[in-house]
Amino acid sequence: MANSTHHKTDNNTQTWGVLGSYQERKKTRAKWQIRLTIKLTITLKRGGCLGVTKKENISEDYFGINPKGLVPALVHDGRVIIESNDILVYLEQQFPNPGFRDVTDDSQVEIDEWLRQSGDLHIPAIKTFQYFKINAAALEKSKEEEALYWKLQKDPDLRAFHGKHSGGKSFTREDADGASVLLNDIFGKIDGALSDSDWIVADTYTLADISWGPSVTTVLSGGFDFSPYPNVERWYAAICARPQFDKAVLEWRKNAQWEKA
Ligand SMILES: N[C@@H](CCC(=O)N[C@@H](CS)C(=O)NCC(=O)O)C(=O)O
C-alpha cells in the first residue's frame, strides 16, 4: 500500500476511530450490501470533509493522526491508515466479503493501476481544478489558521499546493488549464475502459469504480465538461443510481455545502 501510514495511536485519536463498530455491522448480508455506504460515510462524514469546510483538520490533534492534515484518515485496531485509496484497499483486506475486487490476477493489477492514478492525480488534476473553481475561495483561511497550517504542514507537495492560494495569491488560469489537460487525459482513458463494459475493470463494480466515482462528483460541481466522455456519463449515472453512493456521496455533498462554506 504505497503512501499509507500505519502507526500506533493514543487515546486522543479514538475520536477518529471510525471503524470502532464496523465489525458489529456484519450481521446480515443486507448489512454487508451497504458496506460502501459505511465505508464512505465513515471516512467522509465522521472524519471528513464537513470538518474540512470548518478547517477542523487544521489542528495539532488531527495532524497527530494524519501528518498531512488531510481527510480521510482511518483508525482501526490502533492503526492509522491515510490516503483514501489505501483505506479502500485496507478495508477490502480486512472485510473481504462481499468483495470489491473478486477478479482475476490481471484485473487485480488493473484495479491497482486505477487506484494509483487516482492517488497520483489528486493534487495536480482534481484538487487543482477544484480549488481554482470553488475551494480556494470557499476554504480561505483566517490569519490564525494560516499560521497554524504552516507550522503543522511538513509535506512539500501540500506546502507547494496550499502556498498557491495563501497570502493573497490564488490559483491561475494556467494552473486550471494544466489540471484540465490531466483530467481530460484520465477521463478519456476511463471512457475507453468503459467502451464495452459497464464498470471500469472486468465488467464488475470494483474498487476502481469506488475510487473514481466521487472524483467525478467533485469536478462536476466545479463545472468540468464530461460531454466528450459519453461512456463516463453513462457509468456515472449508474453509480449515482446506487443507493449507497447516493447516501454516502451525493447526500453528504449536499449537506457539506462546499460552495457556501
Ligand atoms: N490523496 C488524499 C487527498 C485527500 C484530500 O485532499 N482531502 C481533502 C478533503 S476531501 C482535504 O483534506 N483537504 C484539506 C487540505 O487540503 O488541507 C486522499 O485520497 O486521501
Question: Which ligand 1 atom is the nearest neighbour of the CA of 161?
Answer: 16
pLDDT band at 147 (very low <50, low <70, confident <90, very high): very high
**Type of residue numbered 54:** K
What is the structure's pLDDT at 176? 97
* Mean pLDDT for all residues in the chain: 82
Which of 3, 16, 53, 70 to mutate for ligand 1's pocket (most ligand atoms within 8 Å of CB)?
70
Per-residue exposure over 39-68, b if at least 16 CB sit within 10 Å of its own CB, e if not? bbbbbbbbbbbbbbbebebbeeebbbbbbb
CA nearest ligand 1 atom 10, residue:
49
pTM reported for the whole predicted model: 0.83
Helices (H), 27-142: 29-33, 35-40, 49-53, 60-65, 84-94, 105-121, 128-130, 136-138
Cis peptide, bond prior to residue 98, ω within 30 of zero: yes
From CA 232, how far away is CA 192, in angstroms rounded? 9
Question: Which ligand 1 atom is the nearest neighbour of the CA of 122?
Answer: 1
Span 212-221, average pLDDT = 96
CA nearest ligand 1 atom 6, residue:
70
Residues with CB under 6 A from ligand 1: 49, 52, 57, 69-72, 83-85, 119, 122, 127
Residue 103 has pLDDT above 50, yes or no: yes
Q: Ligand 1 centre and the CA of 175: distance in Å?
A: 18
Phi and psi at residue 75, in whole multiples of 5°?
A: -115, 125
DSSP H/E element including 82: strand 79-82
Residue 14 has pLDDT above 90, yes or no: no
CA nearest ligand 1 atom 20, residue:
83
C-alpha cell at 241: 443510481
Helix, strand or coil for residue 6?
Answer: coil
Which of 71, 150, 162 to mutate for ligand 1's pocket (most ligand atoms within 8 Å of CB)?
71
Contacts of residue 36, Cβ cutoff 8 Å, sequence gap at least 6? 100, 210, 242, 244, 245, 248
Span 39-54, average pLDDT = 51
Which structural domains are found in the chain, ordered by start?
11-94 (3.40.30.10), 105-260 (1.20.1050.10)
Phi and psi at residue 212, in whole multiples of 5°?
A: -85, -25
- Residue 74 DSSP class: E
DSSP H/E element including 235: helix 230-240
Q: Ligand 1 centre and the CA of 146: distance in Å?
A: 17
Span 5-29, average pLDDT = 32
- The 10s digit of each residue's pLDDT in 148-207 is 999 999 999 999 999 999 988 999 999 999 999 999 999 999 999 999 999 999 999 999
Q: Ligand 1 centre and the CA of 142: distance in Å?
A: 19
C-alpha cell at 65: 493522526
Q: Ligand 1 centre and the CA of 147: distance in Å?
A: 19
CA nearest ligand 1 atom 16, residue:
70
- The 10s digit of each residue's pLDDT in 71-83 is 888 888 889 999 9
